[in-house]
Amino acid sequence: MFKTLDFLNKLRNQPEHIKKIILWATVVIIGLIMLVLWWFFIFQKTIKSFNSEKLKENFNIQGLEDQIQNLQKVELPKISEEDAKKIEEELKKMEEQGKTATGE
């Protein structure tokens, strides 16, 4: 208790401009604390009221999921071993022609 009284006496003995600085610093600090607490409680309230089902309805996520499932699947054509060998031979011929044309 005596420390508090000593502190208050020191404040009373300060010049006027120092008292104003201390006052406004205290007001700003208290204001910032209140602002942070207010944001925190608003954020908590928002998270508690969040409804994922309503969000799905708003963005029509189920409809998108259905559309994705109904997309046609692309299938690669089946190539027989004979056709694969023919393609490979043609590629080799093209490579050789390219090498001779460039002089390598």
Give every CB contact of residue 53 below 8 A, 6+ residues apart in sequence.
none
Q: Write out pLDDT tens, residues 42-101.
A: 988 887 777 666 666 666 666 777 777 777 666 777 888 898 899 999 999 888 887 776
pLDDT value at 103 more than 70: no
Tokens for 83, please give them.
Answer: 């056709």
Domain residue spans of the chain? 1-60
Q: Write out pLDDT tens, residues 2-29.
A: 788 888 888 899 999 999 999 999 999 9
**Which pLDDT score, from 0 to 100, does residue 28 have?**
97
**Which pLDDT score, from 0 to 100, does residue 68 have?**
77
**Which pLDDT score, from 0 to 100, does residue 101 have?**
65
Higher pLDDT, 58 or 33: 33
